[in-house]
Structure formats: structure tokens, C-alpha cells
Amino acid sequence: MDALRLLKEEDHHALFKEARELARDRPTIAISGSFLDTSCSSSPYCRHCCWRARERVWPNFRRRVTKEEFVQRGVSARAEGIDWLYTPSGCIGPDLPEYFFEYLSALEQVSDIEVYGLFGAVGRRSLELLKQTGVEGYRCGIESPNRRVFKEVKPGDDYDARIQSIKDAKDTGLKVWSGFIIGLGESLEDIARGIEILKDLEVDSVLLHPFGPCPFTEMEAMNPPSPLLVAKATAVTRILMPHIDLIFFHNEVEWGLTAGCNAGMVGGNPRMISGLKEMREVMYSYQE
Ligand code: SF4
């Protein structure tokens, strides 16, 4: 089945309906994040980096959290009903620092929350150590399936290193969560190719992330993409990859569930965490 042909489908409700049916029996998964280290070695910084805005607004944003803080956040998230916890840091380089494994190991010892590391492109040895630590998976996006766009937006990052990290993570037995950002200047053909790249990589879960302009960045004047386009791309992903966990972005619950997502970035929103399963039941009971 051709991703581009599906993306061009004019009857998007038919597309959504097919995607939803394929998602019907997938488990409901609530996801939140917990920072490990908000420094980043990427040079120059990515042109869309929202952390540039956060460091101007959030007190002490650029810092390493303590092990106690990290463990406490994971335990609290699990108690609130979070199933998966991803652990962002900025780009660290191929070798993760020792304290990452200490923090992750400490959380693994006291919680059954499923942890996904998120540290950019990292080396195989670090991925093997993450697996040994008990981490469930690794989150590594391809950011943009268009290499020119990738280099423009992320001049300090490396597309091929990200692809290699995805392959290495799979080889080490980690589950792989991937995806890309929509709205960075790519074409519809690029989006279709991106979905097919993810399919070929046999990733386990996907988040198609709408570009959101942040103040104090070089891309602050760009508009975000149409929610309908992101939802269509999400539905096409579900149709081409019916067995993955498909994740909606923050606050996109209606679009996401409509387009066949079974998992959501619900952050710390208690209503979303406790209500996600019921939201899916309401959606599937709705008479069209
Ligand atoms: S890798 Fe992430 S944290 Fe670092 S500059 Fe790019 S977007 Fe920002």
C-alpha cells in the first residue's frame, strides 16, 4: 500500500475510520516525560529548539536533576497512572554518562513503569547498557525525512547517526519509539517517505509530532502545520503499521484518537491520565 496515495485521499473520514478500526484492540497507554539532564552538546543549537524558550521562563531549567528527584518523579507518575516514562536530555554524544545508568537503575528497582530513554543518537555500547539496566525502549526520532530540511533545522545533528541508533537499539532488544516532525518545510512526498522509512525500520511505536514554533528561536515566525494534515499522516501510519503503538502529541487527544492512536502524551494532566481509556471507549461507541 502506498503512503502517498493514502495521504492524498480526499475522504479523510474514511481514512480515519479505517485507522480507528485497526487500533480498536490496541492497549491504551498513557505517557509522560521526566528530564534527566537539560544541558545539550549540540553545536550549533537546533533552529527550532524549544528549550531556548524554556530556559528564559522556567526557573533553573538548565540543570541536571538529582537522582532522588528523578526516582520520585517516576514513582509519582506510575502512581498517577502513567504507563510509559520517557527521559529527555539534550544531545549527549555517543557515550552516555555513568550517572544516567545509576538514575535509571534506581528507578527500575522501585517501579514497574516502562522507561524509554531519549538522548539523541547514541552509540551501541550505551544502548546495550540501557538494556542491561532494565530500560524498556529507546526513543529516537528521524526528525525530518527530508535530509536537506534536517540539516537546515538541526545543523549540529546527524541523520545517519539517528538511523544507526534506531537499528542498534532494535539489535540490542530495546523497543524503538520513533517518528518525525511535520511542518518543518517538508513536502507531502517527504511525509509519505518518512512513514515508509519508519515501516522499513520496523519500529515499535510512532509519534508524528506537529511543529510548534517557540519564542527566542530562529523559527519562531513559522506557522504550525494543519492539524488535519498531521492527523491524516497519523492515520496513514496506522494503516501501514497496524500493530505498533501510535502516540498522539500533547493536547491532540481528539485528533489523535480519531486518527487511530492508542497511546498519548498526557503529561501530568490527571484528567487525561485517568480518562484516556474511557475516552477511547466513548469514541468507539459513537454512532456515525
Ligand atoms: S538536540 Fe534537542 S535540546 Fe539540543 S538543541 Fe536540538 S532540540 Fe534543543
Q: Give the closest residue (by CA) to ligand 1 atom 2.
A: 90
Is the pLDDT reported for residue 63 higher than 90? Answer: no
Q: Are 118 and 88 in contact (CB under 8 A)?
A: yes
Q: Ligand 1 in contact with 46 (CB < 6 A)?
A: yes
CA atoms within 13 A on the CB side of 71: 15
Mean pLDDT, the chain, whole residue set: 95
229 Cβ contact list (under 8 Å, min separation 6): 182, 191
CA atoms within 13 A on the CB side of 228: 7
Which of 45, 55, 153, 154 should be mutated for ligand 1, with most atoms under 8 A from CB?
Answer: 45
pLDDT at 225: 97
Is the pLDDT reported for residue 65 higher than 80? Answer: yes
Going by pLDDT thresholds of 50, 70 and 90, the confidence category of residue 41 is confident
Q: What is the pTM of this model?
A: 0.96
* Closest C-alpha among 184, 57, 207, 202 to residue 118: 207
Cis peptide before 44 (omega within 30 of 0): yes
Would you tell me how many other CB atoms lie within 10 Å of the CB of residue 13?
11
Would you tell me how many other CB atoms lie within 10 Å of the CB of residue 184?
22
pLDDT tens digits, one per residue of 227-237: 999 999 999 99
Q: Ligand 1 in contact with 119 (CB < 6 A)?
A: no
Q: Ligand 1 in contact with 49 (CB < 6 A)?
A: yes
The Cα 50–Cα 185 span in angstroms is 17
pLDDT tens digits, one per residue of 123-132: 999 999 999 9
CA atoms within 13 A on the CB side of 213: 13
Question: With pLDDT > 70 as the criterion, what percentage of the chain qualifies?
Answer: 99
pLDDT at 1: 60
Going by pLDDT thresholds of 50, 70 and 90, the confidence category of residue 62 is confident
Cell readout for 118 is 531519549
Sign of the dihedral through C-alpha 183, 187, 192, 196: negative
Is the pLDDT reported for residue 122 higher than 90? Answer: yes
Q: Hey, is 13 helix, strand or coil?
A: helix
Q: Give the closest residue (by CA) to ligand 1 atom 3.
A: 90
Task: State the DSSP string of 74-100.
Answer: HHHHHHHT--EEEEEB----SS--HHH
Residue range 217-243: mean pLDDT, rounded: 97
Q: Ligand 1 in contact with 88 (CB < 6 A)?
A: no
Going by pLDDT thresholds of 50, 70 and 90, the confidence category of residue 287 is confident
Cell readout for 177 is 519509539
Going by pLDDT thresholds of 50, 70 and 90, the confidence category of residue 202 is very high
pLDDT at 60: 87
What's the gap in Å between 218 CA and the centre of ligand 1? 13
pLDDT at 47: 96
Q: Which CATH superfamily is domain 3-275 in?
A: Aldolase class I (3.20.20.70)
Residue range 180-195: mean pLDDT, rounded: 98
Q: Is 170 left (phi over 0), alpha (psi -120 to 50) or beta?
A: alpha
Is the pLDDT reported for residue 209 higher than 90? Answer: yes
What's the gap in Å between 93 CA and the centre of ligand 1? 12
Residue range 137-147: mean pLDDT, rounded: 98
Residue range 78-89: mean pLDDT, rounded: 96
What's the gap in Å between 236 CA and the centre of ligand 1? 28
130 Cβ contact list (under 8 Å, min separation 6): 96, 101, 104, 117, 138, 172, 174
For the ranges 45-54, 177-186, 197-206, 232-241, which has the lowest average pLDDT?
A: 45-54
In the chain, where does DSSP find H-type helix? 3-7, 12-23, 51-57, 67-80, 98-110, 124-133, 147-153, 159-171, 188-200, 227-240, 253-258, 270-285
